[in-house]
């Protein structure tokens, strides 16, 4: 049976194989995005001592599907004097990079769509392209609130990209590779070998910049409701709005997954090198404790939870404070730590930089 | 036609088309966006030449940063296109002469005769263009590379210093000072009995 299936798979044309793999990544991703919105409302609800959505389906579990149906059936209003083509292409431009970036994300050892050498550069390039959707949306809507929101958000994204890129340079120095899979394998050994420990300041900078990049609270001035209504997507309705929404959540999941991969050893188990090998041989328990995709998903889910936690905890930053934090705090921290990492590489401090 | 050839012609058509559109479309924002498209198509060409580092860097630097700032400025400007287009017909003959001259020179320098290069043999699977480039930059060309870096640094500092101006009339609050504020500086807690009527 297994033999036959493998034979059938290898008989398929390459393009069909690639498309099936893309489907295998994107379908769970889209479901995860839908249920992240549900999780957000539930978690923030419980943090604020409310119940959250609990009417649609058992305990509210069908809420995201109801939301999607509602948005699908609503009319997409195009404002007067809006630039029609750019107005409609902007949501696509914002979601496409968020989905394309998953091509180089390894879920397990070798379980990756495109195992390219410059994977990390590819990720940086794609995340930097996401800003176009926002700028174009703001400009094409022919609305000053939208334009102001997109300006704020674009300035914020470009500023934090620098800190983010510098933080990644530290990871590259420690791993000695740009391939995401090899970066994870460089952290093999035990919890002690993860880059979280030697690159802790860079980890903090990366995650804070990640929150700022996705325009999430506490850095969500781009959609500051009290000041500029909803920011760049104020004129969007129906499915066009939903696509922006999906892009935001897909980006959140991507940032969480990357943090897990680059600093917490991706699919590597925290028990690796601590428990004896005989434990990993136990049928079910051994598989659970051993490295695998489930550890990657758990770490990603933890950071995703942090996004929601931050939103419920911190008040919104003021715009000039955001700029100050990015340029005057995070970037100097990364530069100092790059010097430290460089010295560590030169001396060869083990086990990370050896 | 192989798949590579198809990709080459596809991206070439996109590149040439968008490059023409940059100078022909009326709206300056559209023009800037077509320039972005031209950069992306060029990056695709470079990646097909197995120069993935340059291709990705082109997207990262030019598409992701330079053009975003460009677009910012273009969106904020109120450009009067009719004034710019005035005198187009009058200057057209001169422009045509210059264009034909440039074309002739370029054809002589990079004409088909000079560019009859066989496509390079595809490198092995373990070849990494990024790594090869890094090896060259940090060994053979380390001094030119460092000098270029210093020049860029000087340019950055110069740009910042030239545009930095103190405006005494702006009401600016120093965020660092604001953050250092403690409760004791602002609030005085007073304990007092509630008054009897």
Same domain, B3 and B72: yes
Domain boundary pick from A44, A73, A102: A73
Which pLDDT value is given to residue A257?
Answer: 92
Same domain, A208 and A275: yes
User: How many angstroms separate the Cα of A190 from the Cα of each of A199, A270, A271, A283, B20?
Assistant: 16, 6, 7, 22, 56
Which residue from A minimizes the CA distance to B72?
Answer: A151
Domain boundary pick from A12, A44, A73: A73
Q: Which domain holds residue A129?
A: 82-347
**Cβ neighbours of B176 in A, within 8 Å:** 324
A353 part of a folded domain: no
B139 part of a folded domain: yes
**Cβ A158–B69 below 8 Å, yes or no?**
yes
Which pLDDT value is given to residue B15?
Answer: 93
Read off φ and ψ for residue A108, nearest 5 degrees.
Answer: -155, 180
Which pLDDT value is given to residue A139?
Answer: 85
Same domain, A236 and A337: yes
Rg, chain A, Cα only? 22
Same domain, A67 and A107: no
Candidates B53, B71, B179; nearest CB to A135:
B71
A352 part of a folded domain: no
Q: How many domains does chain A have?
A: 2
B185 part of a folded domain: no
pLDDT range class, residue A183, cuts 50, 70, 90: confident
Which pLDDT value is given to residue A305?
Answer: 92
Mean residue pLDDT across chain B = 84
B138 part of a folded domain: yes
Q: How many domains does chain B have?
A: 2
pLDDT digits (tens, 9 = 90+) for A187-204: 887 778 888 888 889 999
Percent of chain A with pLDDT over 90: 8
Looking at the predicted structure, is the pLDDT value of residue B80 above 70?
no
pLDDT digits (tens, 9 = 90+) for A77-118: 888 877 888 888 888 888 999 888 898 888 888 788 888 888
Range among A274-278, A329-333, A345-349 rated most confident = A329-333
Query: Contact A206/A262 with Cβ under 8 angstroms?
Result: yes
Query: Contact B31/A120 with Cβ under 8 angstroms?
Result: no
pLDDT digits (tens, 9 = 90+) for B174-190: 777 877 888 888 888 88
Integer Cα distance of B113 and A234 in angstroms: 56
DSSP string, B73-91: HHHH----HHHHHTTHHHH
**Cβ A161–B72 below 8 Å, yes or no?**
no
Token reading at A150: 């997109």
Same domain, A36 and A131: no
B142: closest CA of chain A, how far (Å): 17
Q: Which domain holds residue B1?
A: 1-78
**Cβ A86–B64 below 8 Å, yes or no?**
no
Which pLDDT value is given to residue B98?
Answer: 94
User: What phi-psi label fits residue A49: left (phi over 0), alpha (psi between -120 and 50 degrees) or beta?
Assistant: left
Q: Which residues of A touch B (CB under 8 A)?
A: 86, 116-118, 121-122, 124-125, 128-129, 131-132, 135-136, 139, 147, 151, 154, 158, 161, 178, 318, 320-321, 324
Same domain, A155 and A266: yes
**Cβ neighbours of A342 in B, within 8 Å:** none
**Cβ A154–B56 below 8 Å, yes or no?**
no
Q: What is the mean pLDDT of residues A122-134?
A: 86
Looking at the predicted structure, is the pLDDT value of residue B72 above 70?
yes
Which pLDDT value is given to residue A146?
Answer: 84
ipTM score above 0.90: no
Q: What is the mean pLDDT of residues A39-47?
A: 90
**Cβ neighbours of A88 in B, within 8 Å:** none
pLDDT range class, residue B196, cuts 50, 70, 90: confident
Same domain, B4 and B74: yes
Which pLDDT value is given to residue A354?
Answer: 64
Mean residue pLDDT across chain A = 85
**Cβ B56–A121 below 8 Å, yes or no?**
yes
């Amino acid at each position: 049976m297994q033999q036959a299936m493998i034979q059938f798979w290898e008989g398929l044309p390459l393009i069909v194989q690639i498309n099936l793999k893309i489907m295998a990544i994107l379908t769970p991703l889209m479901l995860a995005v839908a249920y992240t919105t549900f999780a957000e409302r539930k978690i923030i609800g419980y943090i604020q001592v409310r119940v959250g959505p609990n009417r649609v389906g058992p305990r509210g579990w069908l809420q995201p599907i109801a939301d999607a149906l509602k948005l699908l059936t609503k009319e997409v209003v195009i404002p007067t004097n809006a630039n029609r083509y750019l107005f409609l292409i902007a949501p696509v431009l914002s979601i496409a990079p968020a989905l394309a970036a998953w091509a180089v994300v390894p879920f397990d050892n070798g379980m990756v769509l495109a195992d390219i050498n410059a994977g990390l550069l590819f990720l940086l390039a794609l995340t930097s392209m996401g800003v176009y959707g926002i700028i174009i949306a703001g400009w094409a809507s022919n609305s000053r609130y939208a334009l102001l929101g997109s300006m704020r958000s674009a300035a914020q994204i470009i500023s934090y990209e620098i800190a983010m890129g510098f933080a990644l340079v530290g990871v590259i120095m420690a791993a000695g590779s740009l391939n995401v899979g090899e970066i994870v394998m460089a952290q093999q050994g035990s919890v002690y070998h993860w880059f979280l420990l030697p690159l802790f300041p860079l980890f903090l900078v990366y995650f804070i910049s990640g929150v700022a990049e996705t325009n999430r609270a506490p850095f969500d001035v781009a959609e500051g409701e009290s000041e500029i209504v909803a920011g760049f997507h104020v004129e969007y309705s129906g499915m066009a709005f939903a696509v922006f929404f999906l892009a935001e959540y897909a980006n959140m999941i991507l940032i969480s997954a990357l943090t897990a991969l680059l600093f917490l050893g991706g699919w590597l188990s925290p028990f690796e090198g601590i428990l004896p090998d005989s434990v990993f041989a136990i049928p079910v328990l051994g598989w659970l404790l051993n490295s695998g995709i489930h550890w990657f998903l758990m770490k990603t889910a933890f950071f995703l939870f942090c996004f929601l936690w931050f939103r419920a905890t911190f008040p919104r930053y003021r715009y000039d404070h955001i700029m100050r934090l990015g340029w005057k705090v995070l970037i100097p921290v990364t530069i100092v730590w790059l010097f430290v990492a460089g010295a560590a590489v030169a001396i060869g401090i083990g086990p990370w930089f050896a | 036609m192989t798949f590579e050839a198809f990709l080459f012609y596809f991206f070439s058509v996109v590149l040439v088309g968008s490059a023409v559109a940059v100078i022909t479309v009326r709206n300056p924002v559209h023009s800037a966006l077509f320039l972005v498209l031209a950069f992306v198509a060029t990056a695709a060409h470079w990646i097909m030449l197995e120069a993935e580092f340059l291709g990705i860097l082109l997207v990262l630097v030019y598409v992701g940063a330079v053009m975003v700032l460009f677009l910012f400025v273009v969106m904020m400007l109120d450009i009067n296109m009719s004034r710019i287009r005035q005198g187009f017909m009058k200057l057209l003959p001169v422009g045509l002469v210059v264009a034909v001259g440039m074309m002739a020179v370029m054809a002589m320098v990079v004409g088909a005769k000079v560019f009859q290069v066989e496509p390079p043999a595809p490198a092995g699977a373990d070849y990494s263009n990024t790594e090869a480039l890094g090896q060259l930059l940090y060994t053979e060309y380390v001094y030119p590379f460092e000098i270029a870096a210093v020049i860029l640094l000087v340019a950055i500092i110069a740009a910042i210093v030239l545009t930095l101006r103190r405006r005494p009339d702006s009401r600016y609050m120093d965020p660092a000072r604001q953050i250092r504020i403690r409760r004791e500086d602002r609030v005085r807690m007073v304990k007092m009995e509630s008054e009897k009527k």
